[in-house]
Amino acid sequence: MGIKGLLKFLKTYASDSIKTTTPTEYVGKTIAIDTSIIIYQYVIALKGAGTELIDINGNITSHIYGIINKAINILSSGVKPIFVFDGVPPSLKQELLNNRKKLRDNAKEKLSEESDEDEKKRLSKRTVSITHKQMDQCKEILKLLGLPVVEAPEEADAQCAYLVKNKLAYAVGSEDMDILPFGSCRLLRNFTSYKNEEINEIDLEQILKSLDINHEQFIDICILLGCDYSCTVTGLGPKSILGVIKNHGSIDNFIINDLKLKKNKYRIPDNFHYKPAREYFQNAPVQQLTKTDITWKKPNIKKLQQILVDKYNFKSVNVSKIISRLKKNHPCLQKKKENNSYDLTKFITEISSSNNH
């Protein structure tokens, strides 16, 4: 979920913190990529198009095509990506994960009884779940591509923010607004879209300046808007939330000073765990890294070809296209990169005409 309504909140109260940019502005820069999101986006897109990819044994391989295509597209824009993966979910997130599972199970149940094709496609997209094994397969492919992979102890969002805060990356490429309360000074939304002519760059320092608050107060705003680690206070809208933090300075003071006077206006749920949520945004576990831990290497083309053909049953003609694009755009294989982005619609058409592989 990220932070509920945060983008709209910023557009209303801190619009100067958001600017529209183009991919050319990030040529030569290192960008931390929140990887699970882009894999889900790709798999859902293929499933929605009715083009889910499988090998000869019936195993899904959409995620393999997805991560290769996304990685090479990013390279083609002249960016040096660091791919960051989630680790073990924090205990604070368990209730949210349980709810997500219930929604997937409900969608699967409805799907089995649905006859309308459009509704079946909509429900089908809601059943998508990427397994740990599939994520590990994506990591293996990225390493064969010669690209740096970072595995977070828990949340990839926190690890991505760490990379930017420690100047190991310029910004984070993600659709998840959680990146900002975790402390990344720059968030790039729409960065990994296959048609990313326009990117929204959000500047954390400008947010704090525009709202005239500090980072801890911004975290409190995000918690009150709604985050993955706690429920929120019933009856508080965005404008009221901003007023609460501006007037009281923190959620703690709001509860102490305001709720005692207005007992029936707001309801504080028993599971409003704002203190643990705040602590997590400030001190989530991350892997400690230095510049020497982040390296781009020459791709292992021979092994990549072998694993794509033998393990995932890709057709040789499609593997050749992948290798050709990789050679044109990998920073360790050429000095001058050209913009060679690849259209997802065209890609789906090509693989469909080749019996998925």
pLDDT of 336:
47
pTM of the model: 0.87
Amino acid letter, residue 341? S
pLDDT of 255:
86
pLDDT of 58:
85
Give the number of residues written for the chain: 357
305 within 8 A of 264, measured Cβ to Cβ: no
> Which residue ranges in the chain fall short of pLDDT 70?
1, 48-50, 105, 107-108, 110-127, 194-196, 258-265, 334-357
- What is the set of domains in the chain, with CATH numbers? 6-207 (3.40.50.1010), 213-283 (1.10.150.20)
Strands (E), 135-197: 149-151, 171-173, 186-189
pLDDT tens-digit profile of 6-17?
Answer: 999 999 999 999
DSSP code string of 12-29: HH-GGGEEEE-GGGGTT-
d(CA 46, CA 34): 20
pLDDT tens-digit profile of 102-159?
Answer: 777 676 676 666 666 666 666 666 667 788 999 999 999 999 999 999 999 999 999 9
pLDDT of 133:
93
d(CA 35, CA 27): 20
Q: What six digits make up the tokens of 8?
A: 């709209």
pLDDT of 350:
52
172 within 8 A of 180, measured Cβ to Cβ: no
pLDDT tens-digit profile of 245-272?
Answer: 999 999 999 888 766 655 556 778 888 8
Q: What six digits make up the tokens of 284?
A: 């989530």
